[in-house]
Amino acid sequence: MTDDQWFKSAVVYQVYPRSFQDSDGDGIGDVPGVISRLDYLQQLGIDVLWLSPIYTSPQDDNGYDISDYQDIDPVFGTLADVDELVAQAHTRGIRIVMDLVVNHTSDEHAWFVDARSGPESAKRDWYWWRPPRDGMEAGAPGAEPTNWGSAFSGPAWTLDEASGEYYLHLFSRKQPDLNWENAAVREAVYAMMRRWLERGVDGFRMDVINFISKDPALPDYPVSPSRAPYAEPGQVSCGPRIHEFLQEMHRAVFAGRDALLTVGEMPGVTIEEARLFTDPERAEVDMVFQFEHVDIDHGDGKWDVRPLQLTALKASFGRWQAGLAERGWNSLYWNNHDQPRVVSRFGDDGEHRVHSAKMLGTVLHLHRGTPYVYEGEELGMTNAPFAAIEDFRDIESLNHYAAAIAAGQDQDHVLGALRTMGRDNARTPMQWDGSAHAGFTTGTPWIAVNPNHAEINVEAARADPDSVLHHYRRLIELRHTEPVVAHGDFEMRMADDEHVYAFVRRLGDVALFVLGNFTGAEAAAGEAAEWADAELLLGNYDAPQDHGTLRPWETRVYRRDG
């Protein structure tokens, strides 16, 4: 195995610093808090720690709106704390990956402040400025230069009264999009990235990186009738220069440096594009975050929640496994700071919480690709019981609520969708113990701790050999010790079955057969009887009497050698 493939047998853990561990009692997690929990992460066995953004930020989108790329927000600590984190992590064999948010800056970034000072500004062209639509008055309804929508409701354009021009923001109005057509923007970003690598970090998770190239003509997009007048922001992605920009970034930043990890978050990316992005010979990124499997229960947009159809989930994963089998590489994830908790979403967060959390973890981790564990997933943390809109903090949820209520939607219906799909489900504090605020803070947490921390927490999970935590530890260890997990082929089985997820992995003489029952009832285990003589490598129940039947939410991993 060559060194540039080290990430194939690695597991990444994502920390959302605001919600992980507070060290100073202000109710917001911070870098010293992360340092204090490195031993926990080392015991879990992870290889890489990805931190959501900790840079200076007005926190309009919890740090995804950066006003200074070179400094740390005081709420999270100091540059010296980051140096300490990198050093301490490296001592434990853990690499540090930083978030890279360069599709947009904060509107409080010096570049945008300068750009906004007027059309004569040398930085004006660093962002996207356009006059109102032909023949329309600035500020008139529908006068925005295009019909693009912001991901956080409303138009993707905000009028700058002083100049009479609009600026583009695919996210909030405090997140103006950088103009990557301008070479000076690209150079400034690459220089900033090099400085972080020189500081000792080991790579980047690149936020919505396929949005950096846009069709420079900025055409209107076809509008779906239910979402008039604004089209989906996802249509503005993978523009004509996207591969050129990523190859240029690779040459300018990564070439000649070893053992880094780069992962591009790419909403809407297709398998064909992903193969190009991750083909090592093209030197773009190591892997991408694709969205197909986490959009699978969305109807007309994410707030139109549909039940999971297991065959559709399997078809999607199966296509991605096949599509990147020869060239490129998959990332594997159920959770991150933008997704509801998987045990509540695709499992059973009540009676079968532990069984279903283990099953979901097993099925995901034994695919081919690099798995990502999101803080608390390894405990089987659940969605939160948000009672009212006042309990939510996320700009996406708050803006959607305001827009939906203004449009006359039923309040309970809107709240129901926020409870199911809202990003705050992932952002409630990490549950360390059963004490007040779950050991997260001695102060008042910025968002309420899930009351189920009395039962679901690290301390309890450590003490229980049957916990989800110990199961995740074994899964991570398996990727390190069983070459078939990292390098084996993948073959989907039982593709038409609505209850059971099944696949085979093979490397040389070694084969694994992985099963997951996605229901709370018994289910037929397909060809499992033929594996009855094989070693049962991992499961979430005692060894079965009847290999042909799976118990509720049961998972099994059989291993045969030769």
- Write out the residues near ligand NOJ by the rule CB under 6 A: 61, 64, 101, 171, 207-208, 265, 337-338
Nearer to ligand NOJ, 338 or 349 (CB): 338
Decide if 215 contacts 240 (C-beta within 8 A): yes
For every residue of 225-285, DSSP letters joined together read GGGTT-B-GGGS-S-TTHHHHHHHHIIIIITT--S-EEEEE-TT--HHHHHHHH-GGG-S-
Longest alpha-carbon distance in the chain: 78
- 39 class by beta-carbon count within 10 Å (0-12 exposed, 13-18 middle, 19+ buried): exposed
Give the active site residue among 265, 338, 375, 482. 265
Q: How many other CB atoms are there within 10 angstroms of residue 279's CB atom?
A: 15
Measured from the CB of residue 289, what is the shortest distance to ligand NOJ in angstroms?
9
Separation of alpha carbons 270 and 331, rounded Å: 14
Exactly one of 99, 207, 348, 378 is catalytic; name it. Answer: 207
Smallest distance from ligand NOJ to CB 158, Å = 16
Return d(Cα 341, Cα 380) in angstroms, integer: 8
Which C-beta is closer to ligand NOJ: that of 207 or that of 482? Answer: 207
Cβ neighbours, 10 Å, residue 296: 17
Bond from prior residue into 233 cis (ω within 30 degrees of 0): no
239 or 483, CB closer to ligand NOJ? 239
Residues 274, 237: contact at Cβ < 8 Å? no
Closest distance to ligand NOJ from the beta carbon of 59 (Å): 12
CB of 31 to ligand NOJ, least distance (A): 19
Q: Minimal CA–CA distance to 392: which of 333, 340, 457?
A: 340
**Cβ closest to ligand NOJ, residue 101 vs residue 456:** 101
Q: Which is nearer to ligand NOJ, 177 or 482 (CB)?
A: 177
Question: Nearest distance from residue 87's CB to ligand NOJ, in Å?
Answer: 27
**CB of residue 236 to ligand NOJ, shortest distance in Å:** 13
Choice between 99 and 349, CB closer to ligand NOJ? 99
CA angle 429, 433, 437 (to 5 degrees): 45
3-class DSSP assignment, residue 536:
strand
Residue with token string 């070694």: 510
Instruction: Tell me how far, at minimum, the Cβ of 103 lies from ligand NOJ, in Å.
Output: 7
Rounded CA gap, 461 and 354, in Å?
A: 11
Tell me which H or E stretch contains 506. Answer: strand 500-507
Nearest residue to ligand NOJ by CB is 64
**Judged by CB, which is closer to ligand NOJ: 152, or 558?**
152
> Whose structure tokens read 């570049």?
111
Which of these, 176, 76, 174, lies nearest to 125 by C-alpha position? 176
Return d(Cα 484, Cα 523) in angstroms, integer. Answer: 27
CA-closest candidate to residue 18, choices 57, 67, 70: 57
Active site residue 207: yes
Q: Which of 335, 308, 341, 340 is nearest to 418 (CA)?
A: 340
Residue 101 Cβ, how far from ligand NOJ at the closest point, in Å? 5
One-letter-per-residue 3-state SS of 382-409: CCCCCCCHHHCCCHHHHHHHHHHHHCCC
Comparing CB distances to ligand NOJ, the nearer of 287 and 461 is 287
- DSSP structure string for 174-200: TSPBB-TTSHHHHHHHHHHHHHHHHHT
Question: Please, which residue, 23 or 383, has the CB nearer to ligand NOJ?
Answer: 383
Cβ 302 to ligand NOJ, closest distance in Å? 13
Q: How many CA atoms lie within 13 A of 4 on its CB side?
A: 15
Minimum distance of ligand NOJ from residue 63's CB (angstroms): 9
- Other CB atoms within 10 Å distance of the CB of residue 178: 25
When the beta carbons of 207 and 284 are compared against ligand NOJ, the nearer one is 207
Q: Name the residues annotated as catalytic.
A: 207, 265
